[in-house]
Each structure stands twice: as structure tokens, then as C-alpha cells.
Amino acid sequence: MADIQRGRLLDAMAEVMAEEGYIATTVHMVLKRAGISRRTFYELFKDKEDCFLQTYQEAADHVIELVKQSCAEGGTPEERIENGLRAMLHFARREPATARVCIVEVMGAGQRARDRRSETMERLTGLVCEVLELRYAADEAQLRARVIVGAVHEMVYDALSRNRTRGLSRVAEEVVESYLAPGGTHSDAAAEAVHGR
């Protein structure tokens, strides 16, 4: 029962926060959306921040696992990276409220939340880097991974901020073409940066 109630509260937190933003969201709003008592809330969470952090962490862990599984599928390194990015983008389109919490609202939810975000970005970068090391030297793979994860994050942030997620479907392909394909828009620039040319 506690797991079910916790799940309902996490879902409610994501939904309300996507609509109202972190600052305006109150525990009362979350309780009303979830249909759960205040007493139960405080048996499960210390406060609003704790509920938010757990909402964020569950979603982040889920996305990391999706990307990890997709990057492990066969194909060239570029195809595997594209598969991983597609998995992340499909999640954002399928679960826009949760994605908004993880990418947009997390920035205004305090230092602990921003630290969690930084950890998630590092984990994503590590997954991408691991695949890119099949193609590039370690330092170049690391740089390209950071650039790719940062570029996708910015595109998704912009789409979610504007409530325009339909355009996300081509982001994975565009990023791979720009940053990994020979002669891509940013491919040569990334190589020059790492080699100091």
C-alpha cells in the first residue's frame, strides 16, 4: 500500500509542478491531485523538496536505464548513440510532465536538485562516452559526449519550455549528423577543440 501511495504522490508532484512550477507548487496541491492525506505524505517524505527529489531521481534513473539499454543495441557507434538519444526523446514526448520536472523545473528547485541534475548529466555523458570510445581516443570521446549531451539537453529544455515536444522526433538524428558524421556541422569543430588546432 505504501508503495502505491508513494507512486501516486510522485506522479501528482510531477503533474502539478509541470503546470505550476516548483516555487508555486504546494504540498496541498499535490495531496489534492493524488487524493492522499497529509499524514500519509509526511510519513513518506520530509517535505516538498524531498518529494521533488525522489520524483526527480526515479525519473532520472528510468531514463538512464532506457538510454543504457538502447546504446547497448547493435550497430555502429553512431547508430548506438542515436538509439540512446531516441529513447530519451521518446520518454520526453511520452511523459512531458515528468520530463519537464527533470529538465526545466529542476533548475529552480534549489542547490540539492541542481546537484542531482549535474550527477544525471555526468551519468548520461559517461554512457555516451563509453560508446564513442569505440570510435575515438578517450579525450576526444569525452569532449564529444559532453557536447552531444549538452546539445540534446538544450533542445529538449527549449521544447518543453514552449510546450512543443512534437519537434523532438528528429533531434537525435540531427545531433548525430551534426556532431559525429564526417563533415557534420560541428564534427570538425569538436575535433579541433580536443586537439588544440
Give the pLDDT confidence of 74-86 residue by residue, as tens digits. Answer: 788 888 888 888 8
Per-residue pLDDT tens digits for 6-62: 999 999 999 999 899 899 999 999 999 999 999 999 999 999 999 999 999 999 999
Residues, the chain:
197
For the entire predicted model, the pTM comes to 0.82
Which residues, including other chains, have CB under 8 Å from residue 73's CB and lie 6 or more apart? 80, 83
CATH number belonging to domain 2-195: 1.10.357.10
Q: Which of 80, 74, 46 has its CA nearest to residue 148?
A: 80
pLDDT of residue 114: 93
Please compute, for residue 124, the number of CA atoms within 13 A of its CA located in the half-sphere on the CB side.
26
CB 87 within 8 A of CB 62: no
Residue 102 is predicted with a pLDDT of 87
Check residue 181 and give its pLDDT: 63
CB neighbour list of residue 149: distance below 8 Å, 6 or more residues apart? 121, 124, 125, 128
pLDDT on residue 185: 43
Question: How far is residue 45 CA from its own chain's centroid?
Answer: 23
| pLDDT above 50 for 190 | no
pLDDT of 184 > 60? The answer is: no
Q: Rounded mean pLDDT of 80-102?
A: 86
The pLDDT of residue 187 is 43
Helices marked H in the chain — which ranges? 2-20, 27-34, 38-44, 48-71, 77-94, 96-103, 111-132, 138-161, 171-179, 187-195
What is the domain partition of the chain in residue ranges? Answer: 2-195
pLDDT of 44 reads 94
What single letter denotes the amino acid at residue 90?
H
**Residue 86 confidence (pLDDT):** 85
Cα-Cα-Cα-Cα dihedral sign, residues 11, 12, 13, 18? positive
Identify which of 66, 85, 60 has the alpha carbon closest to the alpha carbon of residue 145: 85
CA distance 135 to 48: 44
Residue 192 in this model has a pLDDT that exceeds 80 = no
